[in-house]
Amino acid sequence: MSEKFDYAKAIAELDEIAAKVENPETKLDDIDALVGRSKELLKQCKDYLRTVKEKIDSLDKE
Amino acid sequence: MEERNYMELLQLQALIKESIADAFPGRYWVKAEIASWSPRANGHCYLSLVQTRGGKSVAESRAVIWKWHYPQLRAYFEETTGEQLRAGITVLVRVQVAFSELYGMALYVEDIDANFTLGARALERKKAIERLQKDGYMDMQKELAIPDIPRRLAVITSKTAAGYQDFRNHLLHNPEGYTFQLDLYEALMQGEGAPDSIVQALEEAIRKGHDAILILRGGGSETDLLCFDDFDLAVAIATCPVPVVTAIGHDKDVHIADMVAHQAVKTPTALADLFLDAFQAQDDLLDRLGQRISTAAERLVNRQELRLSSAEAAIGRAIQRRLGALEMLLQRSIGRISKGLLHKYADVARLSDTAAHRVQFAAQARVSAEFSRVALKEALITASDPRKILSLGYVLVTGKDNKVLKTVDKVGIGDRIGVRFSDGSLTAKVDEVYSDHLDNDKTNIA
């Protein structure tokens, strides 16, 4: 993983997606992509909850 | 030389002993601090009692607890106070003032008032709590927050503590598969040196950086929990920049370390659950978010479907209306066409009527003509009927074979001929035959 996974950011994005999907203005065309993205994020978050990523925890480098 | 009066040391000491016994015949309750403490192999316990004022000793005395008192006395004290008899604590003891010729002055400790120590400690504790409150230490940790995903945990405990293993197992072997980074910082968890040792471990853990620091006593003797009421330790916990969770585990009372900490739990298992629950809460949050998104998506799709089906229905209705209109038009056209056709038919009928008439006339004319023809034929036939002629007086003559004879040529004399009249016939014999153009002599009718 080249980029550090930001759990809080992922949660915020999920919140955003939920709000978007809940918005009646959202086009049906966009739903597929949004739901797909949410699944991806949910998986990442769940994986993160279950895995220590010591290498990316910069605080341990000292 | 004048001889001096003197006595032997033993004599003097005996005298002192006697005087002291006379002067202090009873038993006295004395409040003092234990300055030193040394139980001996022989079963006796030697100690020194002091009184300090302004940090300086102002009184001191040797004291002894004889082996016939010591075990009961110690057990009673430790059971009541949850604390070991040791140097540094203030006690109320009942003593006998004694003097030994060999060892000098000593206080024989015969009894100890454990409740006094409890009270003194409670007072001391109360003072410490008040001071911590006054200086704002009590709520400092409460303002910190454990991260949503507390993953890197520092545990301050003694490695051999049974509670640490419980905690470790419970935390690391969780059924959900959450993983943690556990760093152990060993420290003395009881006795005099405990507060300093814990403070040191705390400082080290802070330097390393953690999501939370846990102080886990994890079993051992229930006595000597006094270190967790230590003022300096309390300050160190309160000022720790990382949330500190304590699991000192004593049901009877809450320690000052518990009070100043971010959170306090009773057991190692509860401590592990605290962090597992945090992860579970995140898991639940994710589930809820996922649910929310899929529900909303489903609702959106349903809404679109509804819109679609209503549009479909609208189109259907429109088509129906249109069809209806077309049908009406068609009907009208058909009406008009059929009306036109009727007119046309009428014309045709009229036309055909004329034709029929013509046919009829023609037929009638034809029939009349045929009638005429038939009549003519009839007339002709009737006219040529032999019976008609016969009735006029003519007769038919038949020869042999019943054939009508039209000449006399074939008739011979003696031939039998038939003669037919209109109302009957007869036979005759020819006598004579007469021919008009040959010789008449042949003609002869019999």
Q: Is B173 helix (H, G, I), strand (E, B) or coil?
A: coil
Please give the single-letter amino acid code of residue B213. I
Structure confidence at residue B437 (pLDDT): 63
| E strand or H helix at B45 | strand B45-53
Residue B37: pLDDT above 60?
Answer: yes
Alpha helices, DSSP H, located in B32-87: 70-81
Which positions in chain B have a beta carbon within 8 angstroms of at least one beta carbon in chain A? 148-149, 151-152, 176-181, 208-209, 279, 282-283, 285-286, 289-290, 292-294, 296-297, 299-301, 303-304
Q: CA-based Rg of chain B, rounded to a whole angstrom?
A: 77
Tokens (6 digits) for B83 = 């604390």
- pLDDT tens for each residue of A6-54: 888 888 888 888 888 777 777 777 878 888 888 888 888 888 887 765 5
Alpha carbon of A26: minimum distance to chain B alpha carbons (Å): 8
Structure confidence at residue B310 (pLDDT): 82
What is the average pLDDT across B385-398?
74
Residues of A with Cβ-Cβ distance to B292 under 8 angstroms: 18, 21-22
What is the bridge-based pairing of β-strands B56-65 and B104-112?
A: parallel
Say whether the ipTM exceeds 0.90.
no
Tokens (6 digits) for B4 = 């001096």
Please give the single-letter amino acid code of residue B215. I
Structure confidence at residue A3 (pLDDT): 61
**Contact yes or no for A22 and B292 at CB 8 A:** yes
- CA distances in angstroms from B68 to B21, B49, B72, B345, B411, listed in the order given: 21, 20, 8, 148, 206
The C-alpha angle with vertex B191 and arms to B185 and B196, in degrees rounded to 5, equals: 50
Range name among B91-100, B281-290, B351-360, B417-426 with the lowest pLDDT average: B351-360
Alpha carbon of A4: minimum distance to chain B alpha carbons (Å): 15
Q: Which residue has the higher pLDDT, B445 or B37?
A: B37
Rounded distance between C-alpha atoms, residue A31 and residue A42, angstroms: 16
- pLDDT tens for each residue of B131-148: 999 999 989 889 998 888
Residue B150: pLDDT above 70?
Answer: yes
Per-chain mean pLDDT for chain B: 83
Whole-number percent of chain B with pLDDT over 70:
85
Q: Which residue has the higher pLDDT, B118 or B202?
A: B202
Structure confidence at residue B119 (pLDDT): 84
Residues in CB range of B430: below 8 A, 6 or more apart: B411, B412, B413, B414, B415, B416, B417, B444, B445, B446
Our measurement of the distance from residue B114's CA atom to the centroid of its chain's CA atoms, rounded to an integer in Å, reads: 59
Rounded distance between C-alpha atoms, residue B321 and residue B330, angstroms: 14
Strand runs (DSSP E) across B243-324, as ranges? 244-247, 263-264
Report whether B273 contacts B284 (CB < 8 A).
no
Q: CA-based Rg of chain A, rounded to a whole angstrom?
A: 15
Nearest CB to A50 within list B148, B177, B303? B177
**Contact yes or no for A45 and B282 at CB 8 A:** yes
Residue of A11, A26, A28 to mutate when probing chain B, most B C-beta within 10 A: A28
What is the average pLDDT across B41-52?
93
Residues in CB range of A62: below 8 A, 6 or more apart: B208
Any idea which residue has 């000052």 for tokens? B256
Tally C-beta pairs within 8 A across A and B: 72
Q: End-to-end CA distance of chain B, in Å?
A: 262
Q: Is A28 on the interface with B (CB under 8 A)?
A: yes
Range name among B164-178, B241-255, B354-368, B409-423 with the lowest pLDDT average: B354-368
Q: DSSP letter at B404?
A: B
Range name among B86-90, B181-185, B294-298, B394-398 with the lowest pLDDT average: B394-398
Rounded distance between C-alpha atoms, residue B297 and residue A23, angstroms: 10
Q: Is A5 helix (H, G, I), strand (E, B) or coil?
A: coil
Structure confidence at residue B445 (pLDDT): 47
Torsion from C-alpha of B220, B222, B226, B229, nearest 10 degrees: 90
Strand runs (DSSP E) across B131-234, as ranges? 152-157, 181-186, 212-216
- pLDDT tens for each residue of B197-251: 999 999 999 998 889 999 988 765 655 677 888 888 899 999 999 999 988 876 6
**Contact yes or no for B300 and A48 at CB 8 A:** no
The angle, 0 to 180 degrees and rounded to 10, between the axes of the packed helices A7-22 and B268-384 is: 30
Q: From B183, which residue of chain A is nearest by alpha-carbon distance?
A: A60
**Contact yes or no for B292 and A18 at CB 8 A:** yes
Q: Is B105 helix (H, G, I), strand (E, B) or coil?
A: strand
Residue B443: pLDDT above 80?
Answer: no
Structure confidence at residue B92 (pLDDT): 94
Residue B391: pLDDT above 80?
Answer: no
Structure confidence at residue B149 (pLDDT): 83
Nearest CB to B179 within list A17, A22, A52? A52
Indicate the burial class of A27 (C-beta count within 10 angstroms; 0-12, 13-18, 19 or more).
Answer: exposed
Nearest CB to A21 within list B181, B209, B300? B300
- pLDDT tens for each residue of B339-373: 776 776 677 666 666 666 666 666 666 666 666 66
Q: Which residue has the higher pLDDT, B374 or B311?
A: B311
